Amino acid sequence: MTKQHRMNLALALMLALALLLPCMGAAAEGLGLTPDTKEATQYTIDANEQVYALLDFDDERELENAQRGLIAAPDSLVIKTEDGKVAWSQDAYAFLDEKAPNTANPSLWRNTQLNHIYGLFEVMDGIYQVRGYDMSNITFIKGNTGWIIYDPLMTVECAKAAFDLVKENLGDYPVKAILYSHSHVDHFGGVEGIVSEAQVNEEEILIIAPEGFEEHAVSENVYAGTAMARRASYQYGTLLQGGEQGSLCIGIGMGQSHGTTSYISPNTTISRTGERMVVDGVIMEFQLTPGTEAPAEMNTWFPQKNALWMAENCTGTLHNLYTLRGAEVRDGQAWANFLMETLKLYGNDVEVVFQSHNWPHWDNENIVEYILNTAAAYKYINDQTLLYLNQGYTSTEIANMIELPADLAKNWYTRQYYGTVAHNAKAVYQKYMGWYDANPIHLGELEPTERAKKFVEYLGDVDAVLRKAKEDYDKGEYQWVAELTNMLVFADPNNQDARYLCADALEQLAYRAESGTWRNAYLCAAQELRFGTNADPATRATQSGGIITHMTPEMVLQYLGIYTDSKKIEDLTFTANIVLPETSYVLAVKNGVVLYEQGSLHERADATWTTDRMGLFGIAQNNREVIDSKVVQEGDTTLLDKLMAANTVADMDIFFHIVEP
């Protein structure tokens, strides 16, 4: 049957359903729909049982790797902020039993057990890691007199607790250098739990990062920060409690910590592969890998130890070419190519590979296979997606078609605990083809609420639709039920039966998901359908000045443009000179659009604003106290107020709806 025939048949079935439903006369009453969490259905139990036949659960090599080299671990691990809030807890996962419950995919359950192994570990002589103290690992390289520290976790409280564990067991030595392997906050946000910015300056501590690090760290964590933070609550399960029917791990750790994030700018930049540094007697050779797991990322080779730091390019799980919280799409082709370059550079000599998530791998033959299989997984997804899209298949069709080859899929370290083949295939499609599938009905399609209302209007009897949906739920058709009932929710958010049935279907999808992030997203959506959209400030990390105050003037002006609602000031057009101590900018507001250029002052500017970087930041944040104290205005003094009238920073809804309109 051709694709067009399938589409015609689907349309005919929908029209038939639309004609039939008003005649059915069935009501949704008596369906027994409640907001309660449900147990796994038999369909879910059967699906999870099939996982045991698919994978070799007797293969315990990854368990051995996760346990190897343990030096010390506290019996209980709960890390709190100064105000008593729990920033991180391994005690929350004390429920983990040997056998997976019916409400968890056995493969994800096993990965959760491995990520629950925490403490201080020796990777090899002179290289140590604290694992399980945050979503990422923190690594300590012993130099002649002090520590070189890699990726100081996401939050200050977690980093401090990890450093305390090291000092207690290995001794208190000065910090000589801190290295950020890449531009994601879980690899630098805890830095002030290790050192202060004043300490970095006074003791001349190196803060090392790859070229482009700060630009990408800002663009990801600030420019789209509000939306990413909200979506991250779904991806990381910050709205959930750990449990057999709650959150498990996410493949690269137990989840996201809830402490205070911080930031110290790099003072040393690595700009080319093969570049070497000697710090406190430790030789480090760098391999830049931009466009892989992050836009700015690098591996490190330790030739004195034949040890290889793989940043987040190999992590013991299939990673993301697209992350569910939202980010720039990653390049599967480049990712695979850089891993092959890694093997060319270091594959003959490497004896241990360690990275910023999960556990190391030892022995040359195993390591080469580990890196090669990881490269093959990303290359397969990239190439197979391109093959299918060139045959005319759409993003969604490809996501439902593509599977890893059996030999790649059976490896525990390429299982879909974090990224999935399905959403990574969609990422490849997006990278090469964008959002448009060439079907012109999608060029100007209705927004979701209007589309849902028309759909319901055509169907007619919503109660009959719910009755039919409940019958499909009872047959195990959870994806379809979730799609249909969510459309009913968008048509009428107050339809409690639609909300409850959609939640029930999402919950069953969660119980069978191998990806921890998919499980979290399903369960978060189910929770918000049952009880309303989350608005708990505890689900957001606390900023301590952090990365925002380290933005360059260009970044601050870009931030100003992003958070200016141009629709509110469409008639506003003017030019202002911005004079800073170190440079100057011309700000051109054209019909409410904020444009800027560094350089010479405009001779006929409508206004001049003289300030410093903090004053400029006050303008971007619409902080009246800072503006009044830091900004000297000349010319038309009303223009800044008019511009600030369209500043939306203070009005941003950080808890916007996701699963309802």
How many degrees, rounded to 5, is the angle at CA 382 between CA 378 and CA 383?
A: 120
Write a three-state SS string for 555-587.
HHHHHHHHCECHHHHCCCCEEEEEECCCCEEEE
Distance of CA 429 to the CA centre of its chain: 19
What distance lies between CA 69 and its chain's CA centroid? 29
Q: At what angle do helices 42-54 and 496-512 cross, to 10 degrees?
A: 20
> End-to-end alpha-carbon separation of the chain, Å?
37
Report how many helices (DSSP H) and strands (DSSP E) the chain contains, helices first. Answer: 22, 23
Residue type, position 553, single letter:
P
User: Which residue do the tokens 């100081």 mark?
Assistant: 152
Instruction: Decide: 520 and 543 in contact? Cβ < 8 Å.
Output: no
At which residue do the structure tokens 């449990």 appear? 243
Mean pLDDT by 10-residue block, N- to C-terminus, for the chain (661 residues)?
A: 45 41 46 95 98 96 98 98 95 93 98 98 98 98 98 98 98 98 95 97 98 87 85 92 96 95 96 98 98 96 98 97 93 98 98 98 98 98 98 97 95 97 98 95 94 93 95 98 98 97 98 98 98 78 62 92 96 98 96 95 96 94 95 97 95 89 96
Identity at 582, one-letter amino acid code: E
The dihedral built from the CA positions of residue 657, 92, 545 and 263, taken in this order, carries a sign that is negative
Strand order, beta sheet including 206-210? 70-72, 119-124, 127-131, 138-142, 147-150, 175-179, 206-210, 268-270
- CA–CA separation, 417 and 317 (whole Å): 6
Task: List the beta strands (DSSP E) in 405-544.
Answer: 542-543
Give the torsion through C-alpha atoms of 291, 293, 294, 296, to 10 deg. Answer: -60
pLDDT at 248: 98
Cβ-Cβ contacts under 8 Å for 71 (sequence gap 6 or more): 119, 120, 121, 122, 128, 169, 170
Structure tokens at 262: 């911080």
User: What does the H/E/C string look like for 396-424?
Assistant: HHHHHHCCCCHHHHCCHHHCCCCCCHHHH
**Helices 421-433 and 332-346 meet at what angle, rounded to 10?**
110
Instruction: Name the pairing type of β-strands 268-270 and 206-210.
Output: parallel
Listed in sequence order, the DSSP H helices in 25-148 are 42-54, 61-67, 106-115
Contact predicate 184/228, CB 8 Å: no
Q: Closest Cα partner for 432 from 380, 394, 475? A: 394
Residues 6+ apart with CB under 8 A from 637: 607
What pLDDT does residue 15 have? 40
Please state the pTM of the whole predicted model.
0.92
The pLDDT value given to residue 532: 94
> CB-side exposure of 631: number of CA atoms within 13 Å?
28
Task: Tell me the C-alpha distance between 164 and 176, whole Å.
Answer: 17
Q: What confidence score (pLDDT) does residue 546 get?
A: 62
Structural domains for the chain: 44-429 (3.60.15.30), 551-651 (3.30.1050.10)
